[in-house]
Structure 1
Amino acid sequence: MVSATGSGKTFTAASAALDMFPRGRVLVLVPTLDLLVQTAQAWRPTGGPPGGRVFHGRTQHS
């Protein structure tokens, strides 16, 4: 997806992933810690995956 910064790409991806895999696991790879935080925040309003977890390096965040 190509779109301007702040246009909702992450939220759109979260919604699409949850529609496609409502009970499954989804792996999202991001290049920076800042983008990891942004992605986790964008997924929360969608309900996120059941039992969803966020990992960065050796650290786990719920």
Structure 2
Amino acid sequence: MGTGKTISAVATAFELFPSGRILVMVPPLDLLVQTAQAVAGGRAHGTDGRGVLV
């Protein structure tokens, strides 16, 4: 279990850039999955929760 860094980072990004685009770079693929899940959960922060991760 983590300390909530990804969730905190996504929530902060949504707050700072509510209608903009945000680039997130993560080294390992498992962090990509974790970040995608956090972005999808962004609906709780008033966003549409959409994201493109490559």
Scaled by the length of structure 2, what TM-score is found? 0.78
Structure 1 unmatched runs, 5+: 56-62
**May I ask how many residue pairs the two structures share in their alignment?**
51
Q: Which amino acid in structure 2 is aligned with residue 28 of structure 1?
A: V
**Matched position secondary structure for 2:19:** coil
Structure 2 unmatched runs, 5+: none
Give the structure, 1 or 2, with the largest relative contact order (CA under 8 Å, sep 6 or more). Answer: 2
The structure number with the bigger radius of gyration is 1
Runs of 4+ in 1 over 3 A off after TM superposition: 48-51
Scaled by the length of structure 1, what TM-score is found? 0.69
CA RMSD, Structure 1 to Structure 2 (Å): 1.9
Residue 21 (structure 2) aligns with: 25
Which shifted more, 22-31 or 44-53? Answer: 44-53
Q: Which has the higher helix share?
A: 2
